[in-house]
Amino acid sequence: MTTSNTGTGDVDPAVREELARLRDSIDNIDAAVVHMLAERFKCTQQVGHLKAAHQLPPADPAREARQIARLRTLAENAKLDPAFAEKFLNFIIAEVIRHHESIAETSENTVNGAAPTAN
């Protein structure tokens, strides 16, 4: 089987078929990742409301450290670069904390009688 690096040459139909099959799998995995992240954020939103209701801080550094260590181990076991997994989790954690801060601010404004601000 031969392929062209320029993208303009003829590509063996078997190569095109395999490429399409792999890309279909990637697309399915991407969809699953998006749906899993959406479900995760639904849960973390509930955590944010619970924290706000009980005046708990938006961030929990001890839990974050445990989660990072746990995810690094999972990544190693899955043959995924643990540094990448940690960066990915840190990105998600930062977004969760931002949501929790926003929820806490809205909750505080509601308790104090101020109108919530739009983000």
User: Which amino acid, 80?
Assistant: L
Please determine, for residue 58, whether its predicted confidence score (pLDDT) is greater than 80.
yes
119: pLDDT confidence band, cut at 50, 70 and 90? Answer: very low
Mean pLDDT of 72-78: 98
Taking residues 92-108, report their average pLDDT: 94
Beta strands of the chain (E only): which ranges? none
C-alpha distance across the termini of the chain, in Å: 54
Q: Binning pLDDT at 50, 70 and 90, where does residue 101 land?
A: very high
pLDDT exceeding 70 applies to what percent of the chain? 87
